[in-house]
Amino acid sequence: MTRLIVVRLFFGALTLWAVSLVVFAATQALPGDAAQLILGRDATPERLAALRDQLNLDQPVAVQYLQWLQGILQGDLGTSFSNRLPVAEYLADPIRSSMTLMGLSALVATPIALFVGAFSALRRDRGFDHASSMGTLVVASIPEFVIGILAILLLGPGGLGLFPSVYARDGGPEQWVLPVLTLALAVAPPIVRMMRATMIEVLESEYVQQARLKGMSERTVLWRHAAPNAIGPVAQVVALQLAWLAGGVVAIEFLFNFPGIGKILMDAIENRDVPLIQAVVLLIAGIYILVNLIADVIGLAANPKVRVANR
Amino acid sequence: MTEQTEKNTGPETRNGVVLEVDGITVIGRPSDVEIISDVSLTVNRGEILGLVGESGSGKTTLGLSLLAHLKRATEIVRGRVRVGEHDLAALSERQVRRLRGRAVAYIPQSPASALNPALRLGVQLSEALHDASLGRDQVMERVREVLREVALPDDDAFLRRYPHQLSGGQQQRVAIAMAFVGRPDLIVMDEPTTGLDVTTQAHVLETIRSMTRDYGTAGVYISHDMAVVADLADDVAVMYRGELVEHGRTTEVLSDPRHEYTRRLLMAVPLLRTSGHEEPEARTDEPLLRIGDLSAGYGRTRVLEGIDLSVSAGECVALLGESGSGKTTLSRSVAGLHHQFSGEMLFDGSPLATSSYRRTADQRRRIQYVFQNPYEALNPRKRVREQILGPYRHLVGRPDSPDRVVAEALERAALPASYADRFPEQLSGGERQRVCIARAVATRPDLLVCDEITSALDVSVQAEIVKLLRSLQDEGMALLFVTHNIALVSNIADRVAILNKGEIVEYGPVGTVMSSPEHEYTRALIADTPDFELSFPGAPERLGMDAESDEVREV
């Protein structure tokens, strides 16, 4: 199994490198001159030239890329154009906030979604199943920022007034509720549906029938015999959804004015702050790859054939 | 249904009767069609009842209802299932659950899919013994004891294994141990040896026999294989369209079947013929297909080594072997579907390329292939007509009269021309396989490669297909008949090649091989194949090659 993980790690690194190429190319393709943007309209040609030289904008693209890549590998993400701070330092707090937001959402959404999915499978074609199936379909078909707006309208100051709708630096823990709820709702439906479908397949299997014929209680059948065999396929979907969080967080942070990487990214794009954009996009891609890697490992660990063969 | 006391049977007459089924009826929802109707039977302690029937006869539904287990959308509407002192059909879910594993246990058809792949054997075996009065040590002691009884290791390392680390035979022994661990009064077995080769099957049947005898357990053995049942069972019950049409002592049923359907079923079973074969005439002409020193494999794994084989025009050569012997690889190599082989392969004197892409259209036309599973070999979205014309257009060309081509092909496969407009889902399994054969013979091939083409079919249908192949052979077609069924080989083949672990261990005229097998493996195969004698008046020539087997189709 270790070998398989190493192989997957290698491919993860390869993907990250490919992403870095794409990100760099995309930011190069942005219209406009970064130096002009930084210094404003009334900059003198001498100052523009000096800044271009400082930012290596005159070098060939390949050289710029290699210098950037070298910087990243040494932990130097460059300096933000707009506020002259090192990117790493500037991003530290937003990363912590965003990670907390994503972690909380995942922690809320995943277990509930798995439970609802498993229970729907057990109650197949009965009331609970129909209700959850309808519910997940409706929620899945609404964009996440609409869910956020609805949550604000219903639970925010304009509605029941239970929770604040805008994040404030000095606010209490209740201001986390709406962003976490929104993200959890956006993430959960596919997990519910996949868990239901996989569990139905597993519950129809002969080994589950055999467990019932051995006289096992439904609880034992569900959690000891069925669930371990459903984890592998479901873990993939959970991973995809959690990875989606890394990108989905952008719109939600904007909506709730939450000081995370999403908001930073929006500002950075507006300011054409290339090093910042590059760093944030690379970070999101990194999270994506990491979460998928974890899902692969869980999928492998859930399969005794792999687990035993490579001991 | 809630009535628990019996009026007519006092305790003394019930002595020894473990299972008593009385008028059980199961219907499907929402159609209300009866899947099994009014079935009654009894089984005594220490005896085995063979429950025989074809697919769709309701034998599995009956078997499961003996454990009060019902598949989705089915329901027991009438009847009693008394096991020991309990009427399972009248008990609540919870009460039934407590009895499963202790009063009645189940051995599944395919242990590979019935053992949980994610759980260690120790867990699966010990949980089957769900008796709250036993401590953990006692449970494990019992598990080890029953493992020894089925001739498996009982050490911790074995208990820590997962199902995939066992062979098929070992998996089935684990399933047997799992059923016997709770010392049940009744064991229901649903074709537990179907996926096993005959040698393993013989061992497993012996284990089942001795276990039921030693434990005094009553057994219900569900099977479509009459030969196995004749070998194993004390009583036989025959199911047909949801009804029990015959029930009696095995010897009596075999010597004097009362019901017409039982007769037909018995007559359709291919019996091992070890004598009375005609000597095939010595051939001096160049064979149609000649294989010399062929070896084949997948990547670095060798599957076949040093294969020499020839098939002459109008001859049926059987390739007999267990799963994993390489027989399908060989037949796929002949058809050009498997490319990784080396050695000599001559067809009508000219060499065949390894890949079908590099064979001439005429070579491809002259070698046709019929696949094992007719349920997967036909495109479900195309009509029979299209399935037949497809290869014809590709290999022969655009026909002047497509209707005639289709009608002729169907006729050669003994199907009415009206079937041309049907879709595969409108056909039974046997009819599907006939369409597959029609598709293969439409291009007028000289060699037909048949890969286990009867193994997915019921015995009566199997007999018809074999009869059809005979008639094709009489028309001059050569057959390469791949199978694991030695009884079938003894009835159809002119010559037989016995394949074991990638090598031909015996090769010769079928009469010689069957009557005086030279290789140890062949002798073991013949000895381990379950067999029985038909002694009732009018018992047919074996394999129902006579006129009477035509009636089987109407059944």
pLDDT of residue A292: 84
> Which tokens is B41 given?
């039977």
What is the overall mean pLDDT for chain B? 86
Decide if pLDDT at B544 tops 70.
no
Cβ–Cβ below 8 Å for A304 and B116: no
Q: What is the pLDDT of residue B307?
A: 92
Q: Which residue of B has its CA nearest to A302?
A: B118
Higher pLDDT, A160 or B69: B69
Whether residue B117 and residue A206 make contact (CB cut-off 8 A), yes or no, is no
Q: Which domains does chain B have, with CATH numbers?
A: 17-268 (3.40.50.300), 289-528 (3.40.50.300)
Q: Chain A partners of B106 at a C-beta cutoff of 8 Å?
A: 210, 213-214
Q: Which pair of tokens denotes residue B424?
A: 């595969």
Instruction: List, for residues B298-348, the tens digit of each pLDDT value.
Output: 888 888 999 999 999 889 999 998 877 888 899 999 999 988 899 989 998
Q: What's the rounded Cα separation, in Å, for the pair A55 and A33?
A: 12
What whole-number distance in Å separates Cα of residue A125 and Cα of residue A138? 18
pLDDT for residue A309: 63
pLDDT band at B7, cuts 50/70/90? very low
Residues in chain B with CB shorter than 8 Å from the CB of A308 are 162, 165
Give rounded-to-5 percent helix, strand, coil for chain B: 40, 25, 40
Asked if B69 lies within 8 A of A209 by C-beta distance, the reply is yes
pLDDT at position B436? 94
Q: Which residues lie across from B187 on neighbouring strands?
A: B105, B219
Q: CA nearest A231 in B: which residue?
A: B118
Report yes or no for ipTM above 0.85. no
Alpha-carbon distance of B263 to B269, in angstroms, equals 10
Asked if the Cβ–Cβ distance from A216 to B165 is below 8 Å, we say: no
Residue B555 has a pLDDT of: 36
Contact A215 B97 (CB under 8 A): yes
CB < 8 Å to B118, chain A: 228-229, 302, 304
Measured in angstroms, the CA of B190 and the nearest CA of chain A are apart by 12
Cα B553 to chain centroid, rounded: 19
pLDDT on residue B32: 85
Interchain contact, A213 vs B119, CB within 8 Å: no
> Which residue type does A166 have?
V
The residue in chain A having the minimum alpha-carbon distance to the alpha carbon of residue B98 is A215
Distance separating alpha carbons of residues B321 and B499, to the nearest angstrom: 5
Q: How many Cβ pairs closer than 8 A exist between chain A and B?
A: 70
Q: Chain B: residue nearest A303 by CA? A: B118
| B67 interaction partners in chain A (CB closer than 8 Å) | 213
Cross-chain residue pair B98–A220, CB shorter than 8 Å? no
Domain A93-295: assigned CATH number = 1.10.3720.10
CB B482 within 8 A of CB B450: yes
> Exposed/middle/buried for B370, CB within 10 Å: 0-12, 13-18, 19+?
buried
pLDDT tens string B79-110: 999 998 889 988 988 899 989 988 999 998 88
Contact A195, A284 (CB under 8 A): no
Using CA coordinates, name the residue in chain A closest to B117. Answer: A304
Return the SS3 of B284: coil
Query: How do residues B383-420 score in pLDDT, each as one tens digit?
Result: 999 999 999 999 988 888 999 999 999 998 888 999 99
Q: Which chain B positions have a beta carbon within 8 Å of A300's beta carbon?
A: none
Could you give the C-alpha distances from A308 to A302, A304, B112, B143, B167, in angstroms and in order? 11, 6, 17, 23, 16
Q: What percent of chain B has pLDDT over 90?
A: 43
* Contact between A220 and B69 using a beta-carbon 8 Å cutoff: no
Q: What is the mean pLDDT of each run of 10 residues along chain A (311 residues)?
A: 83 88 80 69 78 74 83 80 80 88 92 92 89 92 89 84 78 84 92 93 92 90 90 86 84 86 84 83 86 83 73 43
Note whether A213 contacts B105, CB cutoff 8 Å.
yes
For residue B101, the chain A residue with the least C-alpha distance is A214
Interface probe for A, chosen from B61, B116, B191 (most Cβ of A below 10 Å), is B116
Could you read off the pLDDT of B457-499 as tens digits, one per residue? 888 888 888 888 999 999 889 999 999 888 889 888 999 999 9
Q: What single DSSP character describes residue A82?
A: T
| Chain B residues close to A214, C-beta within 8 Å | 100-101, 105-106, 127-128, 130, 178
pLDDT tens-digit map of B148-166: 988 899 999 999 999 988 8
Please state the rounded mean pLDDT for residues B231-260. Answer: 92
pLDDT the model gives residue B543: 42
- Minimal Cα–Cα distance from A203 to chain B, Å? 11
Q: What percent of chain B has pLDDT over 70?
A: 93
Yes or no, beta carbons of A304 and B118 under 8 Å apart: yes
Among A206, A216, A229, whose Cβ lies nearest the Cβ of B114? A206
Q: What is the pLDDT of residue A31?
A: 66
pLDDT of residue B542: 44
At B550 the pLDDT is: 40
Alpha helices per DSSP H over B486-548: 486-492, 510-515, 520-528
